[in-house]
């Protein structure tokens, strides 16, 4: 593929195959991503569809090292292009030199004025059949046969017209306007441009390769007969592996033997190695600093932690922004328009301006060559490629190119509190029974006898009751209550039924009574009597109410700490002109206390998951772009509704799968960094598209007017494509 028109045609070809729901093609990486429908498409049918469109393809299976394959393909293409460039220089430069030195080389002898042009014709014929020209001519012919006009068609038409015009001039004796030099210059500059472009593209895609290179290619498999080295693709879940000191963990696994200090900075950003021992989990891509481990593989290949990161970056780089889809559509119809303009230029110059046919052909060739839409096709995908790769190396995982575009446009961002702005690991501060309970007990709800005379015993009973109801909940507050009960060695009771209300609370049946644990809003919805309870807490702690049947019997207060860099992150958002808004299911007093510490003025407390979604949609009216940051199950719907959803690496699986942008190191400072990168990406994309379109609008009239020769047109086209790639590479410094 050579331009955005090629991309559009390959996508249409793939989408025509039965079983394809959608297809995305990336010009920069040369990868197509297929989303299957209910009936999966046949791999061979996909390849044949691409070939029928005039291109070629191969498929990567799930177990293949995709990045390695792409790098090998790129290296092979770079070698081929380098060889083509040397052939173009070796044959093209003498042709141009003879043209420039023709007045000196000519002699007055019979036929002395012809021989320089004969030598040019011979060299040009050799050049036409060399690797510098033949692939372009074949691709152009294939484009005609398949009715898929592309950049190769424009180049092959330009070169062929110039070559044939040169032969015609030689045969008719018009050697003063021979066109061999124009054809040679076109091929030299085109091959030089493609070589430089391939090298620049490799630099753009190097980030994903850098991620892939963090993974080893082999591992030590433990068998009954000892250990042996195997390739990573041969490892399956359940296999036992030996990981030596200073070795990267090849798969996600569980430690069976040994203990070690494990450097997890590649995944978490934490520079201090963590101690891992028998029973602990280790993840692919981490480094064993000190110690010897025997692990059991649990997730391998693309399913491992590093594999999922690489796959997510690949998906983002194969995705398309709104601007890219528009550019591809324009490029898809641009080539036929250019061919028509070249034909009109030839006819008008010949008929209306009394130009000779060689001069008219020369101008038509210049129009064909200078208007190649390669820069349009590269403008957006190259910038997305660099931005997403650079983001991944920084700790920002972008799963969707459209999300990157949206993140650059947001002007307000809603942030969940618990687990997002705070660490999400609260601890129980106090257990406060309702005043009647200290006299009458818990009415026989728990199996253990109560101690009404000892308030400590009543608190333990209240905590045990809450922990029994909350033990199957994944909410951070629920986990903290269960952990506190475990620390006090309290025996929890298994509920006979359990219902979770995300973001609100839980309802469980214990010993025949209905126990509710949750927020004040939840209790009001459940029509629980709150007469003896004051849920207002001090110092910004969270209050969890506990009720039996329809009577609230006490509350548990929990405290949470701010995440590191939370205050600086909010300040960073403000400096970018992004308004931070806190939305939380916690009570107003707690939310206001945390917001005051962070400097957030707009606070919305006691919100249900649906109310968070409504808050996002309400702010999206009028075309406003809104971001959302959350980490829990109750945030998943709001993350999906937002234009740009952010979550943390420690988030629940549902939130992580919903949010298109993940902060791998749980560092809130990376949220404004992601927005800053997205905004700069948008600027780069707009610059690329502007100059690509402006270049063509300005260049075509100049070529038609004879102000630009075909050789200069080829050089201009080359520099336009390279400038787009180099401009995109500036994102590597963001």
Active site residues: 416
Counting Cβ atoms within 10 Å, is residue 425 exposed (0-12), middle (13-18) or buried (19+)?
middle
Contact by Cβ (8 Å): 592, 605: yes
Residue 521: both structure tokens together: 């809003």
Counting Cβ atoms within 10 Å, is residue 562 exposed (0-12), middle (13-18) or buried (19+)?
middle
CA gap 227, 250 in Å, rounded: 15
DSSP H helices in 620-669? 636-641, 653-658
**Measuring CA to CA, how many Å separate 520 from each of 173, 357, 419, 422?**
98, 88, 20, 21
CA gap 358, 366 in Å, rounded: 12
Question: How do the residues of the chain divide into helix, strand and coil, expressed in percent and rounded to 5?
Answer: 55, 15, 30
CA gap 272, 616 in Å, rounded: 38
Residues 6+ apart with CB under 8 A from 515: 445, 465, 466, 468, 469, 495, 507, 508, 509, 546, 547, 548
Planar angle of CA 213, 217, 223, nearest 5 degrees: 150
Contact by Cβ (8 Å): 428, 546: no
**Measuring CA to CA, how many Å separate 554 from each of 446, 460, 463?**
15, 12, 9
The dihedral built from the CA positions of residue 221, 223, 228 and 231, taken in this order, carries a sign that is negative
**Measuring CA to CA, how many Å separate 93 from each of 84, 99, 132, 221?**
14, 10, 13, 57
Distance of CA 297 to the CA centre of its chain: 27
């Amino acid at each position: 593929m050579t331009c955005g028109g090629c991309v559009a045609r390959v996508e249409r070809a793939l989408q025509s195959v039965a079983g394809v729901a959608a297809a995305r093609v990336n010009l920069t990486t040369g990868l197509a991503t297929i989303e299957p429908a209910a009936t999966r498409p046949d791999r061979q049918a996909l390849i044949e569809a691409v070939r029928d469109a005039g291109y070629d393809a191969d498929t990567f299976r799930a177990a293949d090292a995709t990045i390695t394959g792409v790098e090998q393909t790129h290296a092979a293409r770079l070698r081929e292009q380098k060889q083509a460039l040397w052939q173009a220089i070796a044959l093209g430069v003498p042709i141009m030199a003879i043209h420039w030195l023709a007045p000196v080389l000519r002699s007055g002898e019979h036929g002395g004025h012809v021989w320089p042009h004969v030598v040019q014709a011979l060299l040009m014929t050799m050049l036409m059949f060399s690797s510098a020209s033949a692939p372009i001519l074949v691709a152009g012919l294939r484009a005609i046969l398949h009715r898929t006009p592309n950049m190769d068609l424009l180049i092959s038409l330009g070169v062929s017209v110039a070559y044939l015009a040169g032969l015609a001039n030689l045969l008719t004796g018009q050697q003063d306007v021979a066109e061999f030099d124009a054809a040679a210059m076109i091929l030299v500059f085109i091959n030089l441009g493609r070589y430089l472009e391939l090298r620049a593209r490799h630099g753009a895609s190097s980030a994903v390769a850098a991620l892939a290179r963090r993974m080893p290619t082999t591992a030590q498999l433990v068998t009954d007969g000892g250990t042996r080295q195997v390739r990573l693709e041969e490892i399956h879940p359940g296999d036992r592996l030996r990981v030596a000191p200073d070795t990267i963990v090849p798969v996600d696994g569980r430690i069976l033997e040994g203990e070690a200090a494990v450097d997890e900075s590649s995944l978490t950003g934490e520079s201090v190695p963590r101690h891992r021992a028998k029973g602990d989990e280790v993840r692919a891509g981490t480094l064993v600093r000190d110690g010897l481990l025997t692990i059991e593989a649990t997730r391998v290949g693309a399913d491992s932690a590093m594999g999922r990161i690489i796959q997510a970056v690949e998906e983002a780089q194969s995705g398309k922004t709104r601007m890219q889809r528009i550019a591809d559509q324009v490029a898809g119809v641009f080539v036929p328009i250019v061919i028509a303009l070249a034909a009109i230029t030839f006819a008008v110059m010949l008929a209306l301006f009394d130009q000779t046919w060689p001069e008219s052909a020369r101008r038509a060739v210049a129009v064909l060559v200078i208007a190649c839409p390669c820069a349009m096709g590269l403008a957006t995908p190259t910038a997305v490629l660099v931005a997403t790769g650079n983001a991944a190396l920084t700790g920002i995982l972008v799963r969707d190119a459209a999300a990157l575009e949206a993140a650059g446009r947001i002007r307000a961002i809603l942030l969940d509190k618990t687990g997002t702005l705070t660490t999400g690991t609260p601890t129980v501060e106090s257990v406060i029974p309702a005043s009647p309970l200290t006299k009458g007990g818990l009415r026989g709800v728990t199996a253990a006898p109560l101690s009404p005379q000892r308030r400590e015993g009543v608190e333990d009973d209240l905590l045990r009751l809450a922990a029994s109801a909350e033990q199957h909940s994944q909410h951070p507050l629920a986990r903290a209550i269960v952990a506190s009960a475990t620390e006090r060695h309290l025996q929890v009771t298994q509920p006979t039924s359990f219902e979770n209300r995300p973001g609100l609370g839980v309802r469980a049946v214990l010993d025949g009574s209905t126990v509710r644990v949750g927020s004040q809003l939840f209790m009001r919805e459940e029509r629980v009597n709150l007469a003896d309870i004051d849920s207002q807490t001090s110092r910004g702690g969270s209050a969890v109410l506990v009720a039996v049947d329809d009577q609230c019997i006490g509350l548990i207060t929990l405290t949470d700490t701010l995440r590191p860099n939370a205050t600086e992150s909010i300040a960073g958002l403000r400096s970018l002109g992004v308004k931070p808004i806190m939305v939380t299911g916690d009570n107003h007093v707690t939310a206001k206390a945390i917001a005051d510490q962070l400097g957030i003025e707009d606070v919305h407390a006691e919100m249900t998951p649906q109310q968070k979604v409504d808050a996002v949609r309400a702010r999206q009216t009028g075309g406003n772009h809104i971001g959302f940051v959350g980490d829990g199950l109750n945030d998943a719907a709001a993350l999906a509704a937002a234009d740009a959803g952010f979550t943390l690496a420690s988030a629940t699986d549902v939130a992580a799968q919903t949010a298109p942008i993940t902060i791998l190191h749980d560092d809130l400072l990376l949220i404004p960094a992601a927005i800053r990168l997205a905004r700069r990406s948008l600027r780069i994309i707009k610059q690329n598209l502007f100059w690509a379109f402006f270049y063509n609008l300005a260049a075509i009239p100049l070529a038609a007017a004879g102000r630009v020769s075909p050789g200069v047109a080829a050089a201009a086209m080359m520099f336009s494509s390279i400038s787009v790639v180099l401009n995109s590479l500036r994102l590597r410094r963001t």
